[in-house]
Copies of this chain bind each other. A is one copy, B any other.
């Protein structure tokens, strides 16, 4: 994953080491629990070095956060855009989400924990831009199917809420450690629920009304 600018090899590796160490600490001890000293020890970097690369602990976390979101969103988008049928897209997204969560439990926990962190408002445009691009590309896919008559016409924010909201909520439950419905079943149920919410009454299972 390419980060942001064109950093030279030597320094970039230091930077990555720090990020890796920080992520490990954060996921295993929690954000507020881990001290800069922990990160320093684990990465073998000095205080000065860390602060050369990152403005603050918060900003270091933000960086990690963005990297995770980027991976998640990128995968989700290609998954979605690969799907021709409306029904396929809806189910694929739900499955993608839950599989990603299953495959990256630590990441997930961290992302959820930081989801409403204070840096979210003020953070650089990276986040805002990334996010609007995400919404736009999702919308584009949806619009196609709305025009084809397979999906109901809804505002984009409502779309995403209906499609991803249940996944998020279920995930919250999943990472909390309390017992919950097995993932296969959940994928099936949440996919079905989303599909029932979003499809038009005309659309039928498996039938694809794509045309101009």
Chain A residues near B (Cβ < 8 Å): 30-33, 112-113, 115-118, 120-121, 154-155, 157-158, 160-162, 164-170, 172-173, 176-177, 180-181, 185-186, 189-190, 192-194, 196-198
Contacts and interface: CB of A to CB of B under 8 A. Distances in A.
A181 B116 CA distance: 21
As for how many copies of this chain the complex holds, the number is 2
A190 B118 contact: no
Which of A33, A162, A176, A198 has the most B CB atoms < 10 Å from its CB?
A: A162
B168 A118 contact: no
Contacts of A155: 180-181, 185, 189
A173 B168 CA distance: 14
A33 B120 CA distance: 14
28 contacts: A30-B118, A31-B118, A113-B118, A116-B172, A120-B176, A121-B177, A154-B189, A155-B185, A155-B189, A157-B170, A157-B173, A157-B180, A157-B181, A158-B166, A158-B181, A158-B186, A158-B189, A160-B169, A161-B165, A161-B167, A162-B166, A162-B190, A165-B168, A165-B170, A169-B169, A193-B197, A194-B197, A197-B197
Given A33-B118, A194-B197, A169 B180 contact: no
**A contact face: mostly helix, strand, loop, or mixed:** helix
B166 A190 contact: no
Contacts of A169: 160-161, 164-165, 168-169
A113 B116 CA distance: 5
A159 B67 CA distance: 32
A117 to B, nearest CB: 8
A180 to B, nearest CB: 5
A190 B161 contact: yes
A92 to B, nearest CB: 18
A158 to B, nearest CB: 5
Contacts of A33: 118
